[in-house]
Amino acid sequence: MVICITSMLLSFFLQCFFTVSEQHKQRSAMLELQDNLLLAIELLTRDIARSTSVLDCHAQQLTLQQENIISYSLGTDRQAQEHLYALEGKILYRQESTQGNRQPMANFIDTITFQYLDQHGFPVKDADLVQAVYVKISGQWQGKTIQQEQIVRLAGTAYL
């Protein structure tokens, strides 16, 4: 009788442990995704704010002029199997014209969109008129989309 009760209690506690462990894993994955999106938006806003101009108006790629040229784009995550969590998405890459290769900046990004704004806040396609850049980054985890958005003005501009 004692062995039966003990085995039932042990079974109950093991089930509770596995449930809590799975919830912790899912919460950790969500926090990892949020951290990566925040990191990506911080890096982008810092570089945009230091830039004097935008060189091309592409919706999926950003090319900025500072002392040298900096470009941001999404690329394939070739190490997806090595991540701690089953998060999917692409890697945000940053490349300076003085560097030979691009540097990975943040993982798990599903989409990135850039919109270029003139001095009145209206969308423009002419790089010479860009005064600010609207950045939208999103990632997904188990059907839930998390996104970060920011409008950043270029250095030395009088964006309203």
CA 56 to chain centre: 21
Strand 53-57 vs strand 62-65: parallel, antiparallel, or unpaired?
antiparallel
Note the pLDDT tens digit of each residue in 15-62.
888 888 888 888 888 888 888 899 889 999 999 999 989 988 888 889
For position 123, what pLDDT does the model report? 94
Q: What is the pLDDT of residue 81?
A: 61
pLDDT at 82 (0 to 100): 63
Residue 106 contacts residue 40 (beta carbons within 8 Å): yes
Q: CA 69 → CA 43, 97, 134, 139, 153, distances in Å?
A: 15, 5, 19, 27, 17
79 pLDDT band, cuts 50/70/90, is: low
Q: End-to-end CA distance of the chain: give it in Å, rounded.
A: 78
DSSP label at 78? T
Closest CA to 149 of 112, 104, 107, 105: 112
Pick the residue with more confidence: 99 or 11? Answer: 11
- pLDDT at position 56 is 87
Nearest to residue 75, comparing CAs of 33, 44, 35, 103?
103
Q: Could you report the per-residue pLDDT of 82-94, keeping only the tens digit for each?
A: 656 666 778 888 8
